[in-house]
Every structure is written in C-alpha cells, then in structure tokens.
C-alpha cells in the first residue's frame, strides 16, 4: 500500500515555512485558540464589517453551490488561517462574491485562529454533498466522476501529478500545507481550478497549483471536481483516515 503520509511530505520544507509565516506562526510553537469565540463570530458576525460566516458558508460550514462558497469544515486549521490572512492582505482576491477581502480585514489574527479551530469541530465527512444532477439541470457543465477518479488517484502521464500525492487519499487533506479538497463543493472547486489556471489566484506556495492547473483542460477540471465533490466517506477500515489536526496539537485550546 502507498504510504500517503510520506508522499504528502514531498516538498514540505520551504512550503511549510511559507505557510507558517503566512499564518503568523513564525515565532511561536504554541498559540491559543478559542473555538467558542469562533462559533460566535461564525454564527453572529462581529461588529458592522463582519457578517455571520454561516450566511454564506452554511450552518455546518459545508459550503453552498448556489453562492459558490466553499466548505470550511475540517479543511485544515493552518490552511484556513493562511487564507484569511491572504484575503486581509489582498494576496488573494475573492473572485466570486467579492466580500471575503473586506470580511477578513475586520478579523484580528486571534479571531482567525478561533474561527479556524471552530471549523475543525465539524464532522470529517460531508453530509451535504453537491447535487450534481441538479447542477446539470440548472445548466452547469458537470464532469464525469469515474474520469475524475483517475486524475485524482493517478494523475495523467507526463502532464499532471496525481492530486492525492499532495492532498492525501481522495483529497482528504494533509496538514499543514495541503487543504482537504475531497467533499469540497463542486462549483467552488471548478472556480478555483480555473482561477489557478488563468493566474487570477496566485497565493499558493511555490506556485504549485498554478503549475498543475496550467496542464488541465476544461474537461479535466470538471471531471476532477465531480469526483472530489462526491468522494466516499472515510471508513475506519480503509486505513486512509486523515488527521487534519496535527497542527492543532500545537495549539492550546482555551475554553
Ligand atoms: C457574503 C458571503 C460570505 C460571507 C458572509 C463569508 N464568506 Fe467566506 N467565502 C465566500 C465565498 C463566495 C468564497 C469563495 C471566494 C472565491 O471563489 O474566490 C469564500 C471563501 C472563504 C475562505 C477560503 C476557503 C478556501 O477553501 O480556500 C475562507 C477561509 C472563508 N471564506 C472564511 C470565512 C469566514 C471565517 C467568514 C466569517 C467571518 C466568511 N468566510 C464569511 C463567501 C462568504
Ligand atoms: C505538488 C502538490 C500539489 C498537487 C500535486 C496538487 N495540489 Fe492542489 N494545492 C496544493 C497546495 C499547496 C494548495 C494550497 C494553496 C494555498 O495555500 O493557497 C492547493 C490547493 C488546491 C485547491 C484550493 C482548495 C481551496 O480550498 O481553495 C484546489 C481546488 C486544488 N488544490 C485542487 C487540486 C487538484 C484537482 C489536483 C490534481 C489535478 C491538485 N490540486 C494537485 C498543492 C498541490
């Protein structure tokens, strides 16, 4: 059996440094996070500039295809803190609803950690997968899951590395650098892959995703997104359970 945990470490050296400094972890090994404050902001917002995250990301943080918003639940603590920092610093532009940059500017570094730790309290699997047949009925181009599975697991010879070499088995995530992309929402996945390809999103360490996406056709993008959005739930028996909380072990959770 392939040892995914080892594969996922490929290239971690410089990348981890970037991710950590981006997340403000540079000088500290122990930080604190307060999931109760995260829950409060997630459900009620904060002041005038930060609306409740749940409005767009859903009560269970599973994302929403009609809004093009992503699942946030369990996609990775460090990854979330990094993205919120990137939005706040305008290193990543919200190209869908154009609100995340303003929202992130209204959050302190501590709020970001609190939100990220709250988002790690949801289930690993996704009870609200994208409804691909409904999306098709609404006119969206929807790919084929069996072709997407080949790309995710094996890549395409001399063209694209298997997504799971970095993102973990079926895209379940590999802390701290590689977010969970399995069980992510279909529309969001298609948007991001398209944005990496046309370089309208460039906040990835070492341009890893830009290089990958340049070699993807529209069909590849639709197929990979279809498969990832429907990826199977993890079972205790498949030996591939991914623990996205490795970094949380260095985070002191305050009650
Ligand atoms: C008005 C709707 C809206 C609200 C409110 C909102 N978001 Fe978002 N969020 C989005 C959309 C849409 C995207 C995808 C942006 C894109 O496609 O470029 C996004 C993206 C993100 C991402 C990037 C996730 C990834 O997988 O890279 C994070 C993190 C995030 N939001 C966190 C939050 C938090 C935390 C809050 C509350 C403080 C919040 N959002 C409130 C709509 C919203
Ligand atoms: C060489 C390692 C590597 C490979 C292989 C790889 N990725 Fe990524 N991917 C990354 C990194 C690193 C990020 C996080 C970028 C950031 O920090 O903003 C990422 C982010 C993403 C995101 C954005 C997730 C989000 O929540 O916004 C998507 C979607 C994605 N990858 C899809 C894919 C697909 C599909 C494949 C296979 C065709 C793939 N990746 C292969 C390294 C990789």
Indicate which ligand has the atom closest to the C-alpha of 174.
2
The pLDDT assigned to 43 comes to 98
Counting from 1 in the atom list of ligand 1, the atom nearest the Cα of 41 is 38
Indicate which ligand has the atom closest to the C-alpha of 211.
2
Angstrom distance (rounded) from CA 59 to CA 193: 25
CA of 152 to the centre of ligand 1 (A): 25
The pLDDT assigned to 131 comes to 97
The pLDDT assigned to 23 comes to 46
10 Å Cβ neighbour count for 49? 12
Identify whether the C-beta of residue 180 lies closer than 8 Å to the C-beta of residue 228.
no
98: exposed, middle or buried (Cβ count in 10 Å: 0-12, 13-18, 19+) = exposed
CA of 161 to the centre of ligand 2 (A): 11
> What is the torsional sign of CA 106, 109, 115, 120?
positive
Angstrom distance (rounded) from CA 78 to CA 205: 13
The pLDDT assigned to 40 comes to 98
Identify whether the C-beta of residue 213 lies closer than 8 Å to the C-beta of residue 197.
yes
Report the chain's terminal Cα–Cα distance, integer Å. 40
Identify whether the C-beta of residue 207 lies closer than 8 Å to the C-beta of residue 14.
no
pLDDT in tens, 225-241: 999 999 988 766 665 55
Angstrom distance (rounded) from CA 82 to CA 78: 6
The pLDDT assigned to 238 comes to 60
**Residue 140 Cα distances to 134, 152, 220, 227, 230, angstroms:** 9, 21, 15, 15, 16
Instruction: Profile the chain (255 residues) by mean pLDDT over runs of 10 residues.
Output: 36 39 49 91 96 97 97 93 97 96 97 93 84 97 97 94 93 89 96 98 95 97 98 69 56 66
pLDDT in tens, 201-227: 999 999 999 999 999 999 999 999 999
């Amino acid at each position: 059996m392939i040892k995914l945990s080892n594969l996922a470490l490929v290239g971690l050296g410089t990348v981890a440094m970037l991710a950590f400094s981006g997340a403000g972890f540079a000088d500290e090994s122990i930080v604190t996070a307060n999931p109760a404050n995260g829950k409060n902001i997630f459900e009620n917002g904060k002041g005038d500039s930060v609306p409740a995250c749940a409005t767009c990301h859903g009560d269970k943080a599973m994302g929403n295809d009609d809004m093009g918003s992503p699942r946030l639940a369990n996609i990775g603590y460090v990854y979330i803190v990094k993205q919120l920092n990137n939005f706040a610093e305008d290193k990543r532009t919200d190209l869908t609803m154009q609100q995340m940059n303003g929202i992130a500017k209204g959050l302190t570094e501590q709020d970001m950690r609190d939100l990220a730790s709250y988002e790690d309290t949801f289930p690993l699997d996704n009870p609200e997968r994208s409804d691909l047949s409904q999306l098709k009925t609404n006119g969206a181009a929807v790919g084929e899951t069996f072709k997407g599975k080949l790309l995710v697991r094996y890549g395409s010879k001399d063209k694209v590395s298997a997504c799971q070499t970095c993102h973990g088995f079926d895209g379940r995530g590999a802390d701290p650098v590689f977010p969970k992309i399995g069980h992510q929402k279909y529309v969001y996945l298609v948007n991001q892959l398209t944005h990496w390809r046309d370089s309208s999103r460039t906040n990835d360490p070492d341009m890893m995703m830009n290089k990958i996406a340049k070699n993807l056709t529209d069909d590849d993008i639709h197929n990979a997104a279809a498969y990832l959005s429907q990826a199977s739930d993890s079972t205790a028996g498949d030996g591939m359970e991914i623990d996205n909380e490795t970094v949380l072990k260095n985070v002191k959770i305050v009650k």
